[in-house]
Amino acid sequence: MRKKSFISLLLLLALITVPLFAGNFDYATALRYAILFYDANKCGPDAGVDNVFDWRDSCHLNDGADVGLDLTGGFHDAGDHVKFGLPQAYAASVLSWSMYKYKEVFQETGTYQKLLSTLKYFSDYLLKCHPDPETFYYQVGDGGEDHAYWGPPEEQTGYRPTMYVADTSNPASDVLGMTSAALTLMYLNYRDIDPGYSAHCLQAARELYQMGRNNPGYCEVSAYYISSSYYDDLAWAAAWLYIVDGDEQYLEDAERFVLERNRNGDNPLQHRWTMCWDDMYLPEIFKLYQITGKDQYKNALEYNLDYWMNSLETTPGGLKYLDNWGVLRYAMGESMLALVYYRETGNESLREFAKSQLDYVLGDNPANMSYVIGFGNRWSLHPHHRAANGYTYANGDNQKEAKHLLLGALVGGPDRNDNFIDDVNQYQYTEVAIDYNAGLVGVLAGILDDTEPGQDDVIIGDLNGDKITNSLDYVLMRRYLLNTGLNIVQKAADLNGDKIINSLDYVLLRRTLLNAN
């Protein structure tokens, strides 16, 4: 018997009436839709549980059987059904970062519980893929074989190989770093809900990071998701582990790795790309600026943002155009970076830039359409997504309008002249993917956030910035007083607000912790 959520098809259709407010879009509704999209790409025996789409159910029930493991679960990558390591970990990482940074926004918009359950669906799968401290499986399904199939995942019952593994003989520092960061962030988001589960996530994150650090190298791929660097992923992982553990080795690693150039020889401090499944340099640089306050990281952020805002190719309709394949994922990635930095600086031009790109996505564009399916009054009717399409390759039926509404999916987007071709076979325009929506969720949460700029992430007594004051902060305070070169959150360490960090703050922190217990 199918297990379904309480949302009926009738109610789902009712969700798609979206009002506009005084020239602004209903961002809260768009945020809700963008999160619901992930239900369409769920995989495994529980894919139909707590799922808004009544056309999705359990699938791929034997994943991992070829290696003697249960590797069911997780998410299909895009319009196909492969579970690729890099974009899976990227989506989990960025969504978790959004939750960590904008928790109040998700609570206020009624999207918190849904996003939290989505994040746990990711982490449950990632933990399955790490059966022991020296092993991690990072791809299930063969891309070539999978792409030869067009139909619902529930009917794709053939053999799906477990393609690649990272272990002592097979490096995959990029996937391991990204996954480590995702699980550390899950620890931060889940520690007050289930301490045992979150501790499991954190231990796995530490182990995966050490695997990637101690056996450096690229993951294996066939023709999909070829990584250009693993240093950025390791740096991203190390920064979050430093925030949790306060171990200076993590910070030293992060600062060393983030300066290593990618295969293209790009200078990370003068970087023109943006946050995506293959590039975490800029979010890592942002975290290092938050942690250390160093000018080199601030200058690197401002170089990148200035390039995007003032020099990057722009379509006649105002979209920043980095690459033709999934152009909107890049615009959303950069917009999320602009918004997190806006909260540090209060520079309104950053928020205006992000809003212009988001509004383009939601309908303020020459095509007068929304690139988020189900939002507004007009959207893509031919998304490149097998489950939503509902047909097969027979007689070219897959080129028909999709049978099912793929609510909340961000499609690839237009060309450099703002032209959009709504053709299921031209997937640079119409494909959807779990990594596309990750940035969109972050931008929508960021644009809805009303926290005063400059007050970001500061909790008095929280010296390592992990949003909790505990004995680790007490240890850091003592170490800082012995060595003022130690990196801590300065505002948080000044407990009495006298602009000086000294033994009085140490005493006040001790009292705070004693009173809390």
Paired tokens of 127: 């933990």
Active-site entry in 200, 384, 385, 404: 384
CA separation for the pair 101, 99 (Å, rounded): 6
Q: 385, 406 in Cβ contact below 8 A?
A: yes
How far is the CA of 48 from the CAs of 35, 84, 202, 315, in angstroms? 16, 21, 28, 40
Q: By three-state DSSP, how is residue 205 classified?
A: helix
Beta partners for 165? 137
CA separation for the pair 325, 95 (Å, rounded): 21
CA separation for the pair 236, 259 (Å, rounded): 12
Residue with structure tokens 């000018």? 295
- Residue 165, H or E segment: strand 162-166
Q: 28, 448 in Cβ contact below 8 A?
A: yes
Alpha carbon 327 to chain centroid distance? 17
The answer to whether 352 is a known catalytic residue is: no
The amino acid at 336: M
CA separation for the pair 351, 344 (Å, rounded): 12
The answer to whether 80 is a known catalytic residue is: yes
The two counts, helices (H) then strands (E), for the chain are 20, 5
The answer to whether 124 is a known catalytic residue is: no
342 phi and psi angles, rounded to 5 deg: -55, -40
Paired tokens of 317: 């309709």
Active-site entry in 124, 220, 422, 494: 422
**DSSP secondary structure string for all residues of 479-517:** HHHH-TTS---HHHH-TT-SS--SHHHHHHHHHHHHHH-
CA separation for the pair 20, 213 (Å, rounded): 49
The answer to whether 431 is a known catalytic residue is: yes
Alpha carbon 160 to chain centroid distance? 26
How far is the CA of 428 from the CAs of 190, 271, 328, 413, 432, in angstroms? 36, 24, 10, 8, 9
CA separation for the pair 398, 392 (Å, rounded): 5
Active-site entry in 344, 431, 435, 462: 431
Would you give the DSSP letter of residue 22?
T
Active-site entry in 80, 146, 466, 505: 80
H-helix segments, 57-131 = 85-101, 103-108, 112-128
**What residues are annotated to the active site?**
80, 384, 422, 431
